[in-house]
């Protein structure tokens, strides 16, 4: 089974590129925070608590896919 640290290592390059995304450790698991610092709602952010490494992996994989789609357009 994968650990949280391994998931963060897998997506480390992506997290370094996407300046609106951050992963933080909390007492409840890891929190993926997406900052929306530009546009209509400056300073707004949304987050998702991931209780297992699989939840974090699946969420970051989805985020990365979306990031790549935006980069291609």
Q: What is the pLDDT of residue 8?
A: 97
> Which residue bears the tokens 């929190």?
31
Q: What is the mean pLDDT of the chain?
A: 91
Q: What is the pLDDT of residue 63?
A: 95
**How do beta strands 44-50 and 29-36 pair?**
antiparallel
> Which residue bears the tokens 């699946």?
58
**More confident call, 22 vs 37:** 22
> Which residue bears the tokens 């951050």?
22
Read off the pTM.
Answer: 0.86
59 confidence band (pLDDT: 50, 70, 90): very high
């Amino acid at each position: 089974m994968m650990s949280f640290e391994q998931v963060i290592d897998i997506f480390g390059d992506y997290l370094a590129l996407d300046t609106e995304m951050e992963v933080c450790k909390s007492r409840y698991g890891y929190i993926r925070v997406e900052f929306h610092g530009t546009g209509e709602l400056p300073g707004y952010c949304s987050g998702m608590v991931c209780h297992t490494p699989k939840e974090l992996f699946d969420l970051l994989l989805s985020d990365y896919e979306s990031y790549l789609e935006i980069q291609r357009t």
